[in-house]
Amino acid sequence: MKKIAVFTSGGDSPGMNACIRAVVRTAIFKGLEVYGIHRGYEGMIDGDIKRMHSYSVSNIVQRGGTILKSARSEKFKTPEGRKKAFDNLKSHGIEGLVAIGGDGTFTGAKIFHEEFGIPVIGCPGTIDNDIYGTDYTIGFDTAVNTALEAIDKIRDTAAAHDRIFFIEVMGRDAGFLAVESGIGGGAEFVMVPETATDLDAVVKSLKNLRKTKTSSIIVVAEGDDEGNAEEIMAKVKSKIKDDSKEFKVTTLGHIQRGGNPTARDRVLASRCGMAAVDGLLQGNFACMAGVMNQAVVYTSFADCIGKTKPLIEDHLKLIDILSI
Ligand code: ATP
């Protein structure tokens, strides 16, 4: 293998740049030519492919977002789109790919590998931390810390005015971000898509808590089964039937995707990026380079996509116990 390409795809996450840097510099170190594909699969189809050098990735290890841009591509979901993408790679002589993204990105990469036999390896880039085969995903730690900073600030005003705050964090299908920011932020409740939310129990506990606490923080993952934070707040308010209580909602939104990556994310991104290039050279295809128990591991795309990473049970217990 002499020429490889790297791209970022799906939702961006802090640390993607550190990962690109690691891929580019490891590839050059190992004597490979390396290309950057702009705007993920969409750029692959449009032929938006440029040679990268060591200096192409200077001064980006600390930056959020992705210098290669990210995109979602409907065209890549069609055989015609993928054929065009493959022809573009062939015309550049590209023999291997590093895909930085989430489970959708890996689904596309798996299909592409099966159709054209092109070697592909993935790096887990998503703030959701919902990928099997790695303890943490690139961007998760930064997103948790961003959410935490916001929760700390909201707690100040919640306490000053004796309010009950519902804080919505990202997580359509996974509650990792809600759980870790909830523990770190001392939330009274965390509502996640993985477990059924019992609003009657929440209301009962809130009434009890009000005897000892004057303000409360409830962290809601956007994909909770009872709805978004606004909807849940309305339901709780109608059940609690106490006009003296003030309820507020804050949706953190896209600030959770941005910002300079934490040290933990930069290190994880660098390790995964280097492992991805090593994996390509060793013939480890259609898999993702992740880190589990401190060690680099390669997990097949089939498992990354097909297996569910469960929430850590102790984390859910912690919230219950520490919020008394
Ligand atoms: P995040 O979890 O942060 O949203 P992601 O990688 O899961 O990231 P998606 O938008 O789900 O983000 O997927 C990224 C891209 O991968 C899609 O826009 C599409 O081009 C490609 N992709 C996803 N599913 C398929 C599929 N079944 N076939 C071909 N390509 C796919």
Q: Is 73 in the pocket of ligand 1 (CB under 6 A)?
A: yes
Same domain, 82 and 169: no
pLDDT digits (tens, 9 = 90+) for 191-226: 999 999 899 988 888 887 666 777 889 999 999 999
The 8-class DSSP code of residue 166 comes to: E
Q: Report d(CA 201, CA 198) in Å as an integer.
A: 5
The last residue of a domain, from among 230, 257, 284: 257
Q: Is the dihedral of CA 49, 58, 279, 299 positive or negative?
A: negative
CA distances 220 to 12, 71, 77, 150, 191, Å, are 22, 27, 32, 14, 5
At 324 the three-state DSSP class reads coil
Is 0.90 surpassed by the pTM of this model?
A: yes
CATH number of the domain bearing residue 87: 3.40.50.450
Q: Is 124 in the pocket of ligand 1 (CB under 6 A)?
A: no
- Domain assignment present for residue 69? The answer is yes
**Nearest Cα to Cα of residue 264 among 13, 46, 32, 2:** 13
Same domain, 156 and 301: no
Query: What pLDDT is recorded for position 210?
Result: 65
Same domain, 17 and 132: yes
Same domain, 76 and 155: no
Same domain, 131 and 271: yes
CATH number of the domain bearing residue 240: 3.40.50.460
User: Which residue is it, tokens 């640390």?
Assistant: 15
pLDDT digits (tens, 9 = 90+) for 64-121: 999 999 999 999 999 999 999 999 999 999 999 999 999 999 999 999 999 999 999 9
Ranges of the chain whose pLDDT falls below 70: 209-211
Q: What is the CA 235 to chain-centroid distance, rounded?
A: 29
Q: Which domain holds residue 204?
A: 143-257
CA of 112, closest atom in ligand 1: 29
For the chain, what is the largest distance between any 2 Cα atoms, rounded to a whole number of angstroms?
Answer: 70
Q: How many domains are there within the chain?
A: 2
Same domain, 251 and 287: no
- Domain assignment present for residue 66? The answer is yes
Residue 113 is assigned to a ligand binding site: no
43 alpha carbon – ligand 1 mean position (Å): 14
Query: What pLDDT is recorded for position 159?
Result: 86
Cross-strand partners of 292: 295
Cross-strand partners of 89: none
Q: Is the ipTM of this complex over 0.90?
A: yes
Answer yes or no: 128 catalytic.
Answer: yes
Helix axes of 199-209 and 229-240: crossing angle, nearest 10 degrees: 60
Query: What pLDDT is recorded for position 208?
Result: 78
